[in-house]
Chain A
């Protein structure tokens, strides 16, 4: 053991420490060839997990190529230092499969769940295990209360957050902004003023697309969630998601009307794509592309849209496209809408607990940040951001997610019942774009809420 472990030693449980010492004394002949060696300085952070040689943890996730490789890379030091094997299953049909597996009684040790709604359904099967106290201590230390609450069901903490993504972004062309002297708006009023200014120059400021097969309409739900968070505040937002206030009550209605000021305004949309109705038939992937042709100037979409620009597009502050934070009512007001994943365990074997604790640690978050790509960003404050192989968008997302002033809220439609979150909300939002009034829209969604 080296000096670096002194700090760790203080918090490690004595029994675990004894095991760790034993492990380091055992030599390293059975170690994996790559990466850190057990007992070496790189492994100091992992001493707390003890010797897990010959133990296997099965992990099931909907994260697939190319991000699965990034995820596996973050597990490698844990595997080589503790001797445990992490057996990952990466399958797109995770969301339907995991429920079947849980109900049938053969779930994996760990499921990486991307929606709080699904998490609750899984816990309701009675097969999930609450998070160990070491994991909970990590989460208390590294995450805000909001994040912890998404992994908590009926007051019991189950699932620690993994990665995070940020949805409250507006994409724009830095070059156009520079040439025409536009500046990034800091408040919602400034955003409207900017839109008016661009519209007055004979240009359509906004472009949008919501077509996405049977999920057509979801980008409107993100817009509405963002506006709900900005106009009514996080407390009302939570009530809305939990249906403690009706969907057709004044708050949500005002939020949708606010979205309408942008998306249903013929002067504002749909640059390069047609009239307001064309939003409904434009795929969300194509929605922002007219920015590159100078046909529109602004496009609200999540950070993952960075991967959607054609090859050769430079995504940076002085490049072809970049994004700014969708502003709040005031410059101080920073409500962030986003998503993320949570690690839910179906077993409480020591190696499973150790893995949960590892992923919720700052060590893991730093490893993920170093790996870059789609797995870099998390809301984990233990992450060493200076080591991040981040794109500029990742850096922006990281800085907003870790901003103590920022209030984070999870994508509300992911937490609503399926009849709303993956059906009525999408469908009515689409009808709203093609002409249905705001009042009819919120009334119909309220009527569809399961009794």
Chain B
């Protein structure tokens, strides 16, 4: 397809989109009055409903359906794929890693972000300090992974060989032997988690900093008059006041962490026992051509995300209700 062809196709697509919107507006304009309102609402909702059905519900249901089938999607195998996930030693490692990611990342990233937000709050160089920790957020996961891959890069400690990894160079300067950070399981998973924390701490800091600034001044003053120390202030004033923001940050990072794929794929390709559910789902579906197991892993991921999303929504409703 030449560039001209692509532009022609783009113009066609835009024209089609405008035509559909025009049609909907035209249909809606034909109805008026009290009864008409419902019809108008239905007409406006229809495209969204169709898109959700076609783009989300249908593929979702099909994925669940396929998860009960064999590799080629030709024969029903019942719960076999799910059994594989929970019994094969490789797949169990994948589950263990996913648990490590989900347990560690949200809490550490949020803790780092919160601590940083409190430390730089009302400091003289606050804007600059915030910019520094926020910068990694603007780097793509793949870019960040490549940067950290270089940080962990290993070369042996022998004459004529230069270290090219930052971390190992630090060890050499301290008189220690360089380590192969990405190979030794299960520690390698933590070295990958560091990358995620590096990226997400900035997000946590920004949201939490805004929440801290929104704490009413009179509460802080009252606490001070009651003689509350800095730790008490944190424990009894700051944290309870920003609780909704904390939960939003924790759950958002948690959902993102469950779906982590780019970091693992770029840094280790899931080798050395570092694979996680999302990466394994990709390898099984697209490299191994095992549609059934891939679908089962996708369903598992879906099931794991649901409770966090539900909790997130409930918290949002509760905070709105207040």
- Contacts from A to B (Cβ < 8 Å): 213-217, 272-275, 277-278, 280-281, 293, 295, 417-419, 422-424, 427, 430-431, 434, 444, 450
Q: Are B288 and A422 in contact (CB under 8 A)?
A: yes
B266: chain A residues within 8 A (beta carbon): 213
By a CB distance below 8 angstroms, the chain A residues around B158 are: 272
Task: Find out whether the CB atom of B272 lies under 8 angstroms from the CB atom of A280.
Answer: yes
The chain B residue sitting closest to A447, CB to CB, is B88
In the complex, B287 has a CB within 8 A of chain A: yes
Q: Contact check: which of B155, B271, B273 meets A274 at CB < 8 Å?
A: B155
**B265 CB-CB contact with A under 8 Å:** yes
Q: Which of B256-303 contact A (CB under 8 A)?
A: 265-266, 268-273, 283-284, 287-290
Q: A217: which B residues are within 8 A, CB to CB? A: 271
B178-218 with Cβ < 8 A to chain A: 180, 182-183
Chain B interface residue count: which class? 20 to 34
Nearest Cβ in chain B — how far from A422, in angstroms?
5
Residues of chain A with a CB closer than 8 A to B268's CB: 216
Determine which of A278, A417, A423, A444 lies in contact with B180 in the assembled complex, contact meaning CB atoms within 8 Å. A278
Given known A-B contacts A214-B283, A419-B289, A295 and B161 have beta carbons under 8 A apart: yes
Residues of B with C-beta under 8 A to A431: 271-273
Question: What's the Cα separation between A277 and B178 when bound, in Å?
Answer: 13
Main secondary structure on B side of the interface with A = loop
Q: Is there contact, CB below 8 Å, between B180 and A274?
A: yes
Residues of A within 8 A of B90 (CB): 444
B160 at the interface (CB under 8 A from A): yes
7 nearest CB pairs, A to B: A274-B156, A214-B269, A419-B288, A418-B289, A423-B288, A423-B287, A430-B271
Q: How far is the CA of A215 from the CA of B156 in the complex (A)?
A: 24
Query: Taking the complex as formed, is B101 at the interface, i.e. its CB lies under 8 A from any CB of chain A?
Result: no
Given A272-B160, A278-B156; 15 other pairs, CB 8 A cutoff: A214-B270, A272-B156, A272-B158, A272-B161, A273-B156, A274-B155, A281-B182, A281-B183, A418-B288, A418-B289, A423-B283, A430-B272, A431-B271, A444-B90, A450-B71
> Is A419 touching B71 in the complex (CB atoms < 8 A)?
yes
> Closest Cβ of chain B: how far from A418's Cβ, in Å?
4
B154 within 8 A of A: yes
Query: In the complex, A416→B160 CA distance in Å?
Result: 42
Smallest CB–CB gap between A310 and chain B, Å?
15
Q: Are B289 and A274 in contact (CB under 8 A)?
A: no
Flag if B287 contacts A434 (CB, 8 Å).
no
Q: Which residue of A lies closest to B158 (CB)?
A: A272
A214-B283, A274-B156, A277-B183 known; A417+B269 contact, CB < 8 A: no
Closest to B265 in A: A214
Closest CB in chain A relative to B23 CB, distance in Å: 29
Residues from chain A with a CB closer than 8 A to the CB of B269 are 213-216
* Contact A422-B180, Cβ < 8 Å, known A213-B269, A430-B271: no
Q: List 5 A-B contacts (CB under 8 A).
A: A274-B154, A278-B154, A278-B180, A419-B290, A430-B272
In the assembled complex, how far is the CB of residue B122 from the closest CB belonging to chain A, in whole angstroms? 45
User: In the assembled complex, which residues on chain B have CB atoms less than 8 Å from the CB atom of A423?
Assistant: 283-284, 287-288
A295 to B180, Cβ gap below 8 A?
no
Whether the Cβ atoms of B270 and A424 lie closer than 8 Å is no
Q: Which of B145-189 contact A (CB under 8 A)?
A: 154-156, 158, 160-161, 180, 182-183
Given A280-B183, A293-B160, are A417 and B289 neighbors across the interface (CB < 8 Å)?
Answer: yes
User: Smallest Cβ distance from A61 to chain B, in angstroms?
Assistant: 16
Expressed in whole angstroms, the Cα–Cα distance for A274 and B290 within the complex equals 36
Q: List the B residue with the shortest CB-CB distance to A424.
A: B288
Shortest beta-carbon distance, B165 to chain A, in Å? Answer: 10
CA distance A224 to B252 in the complex (A): 46
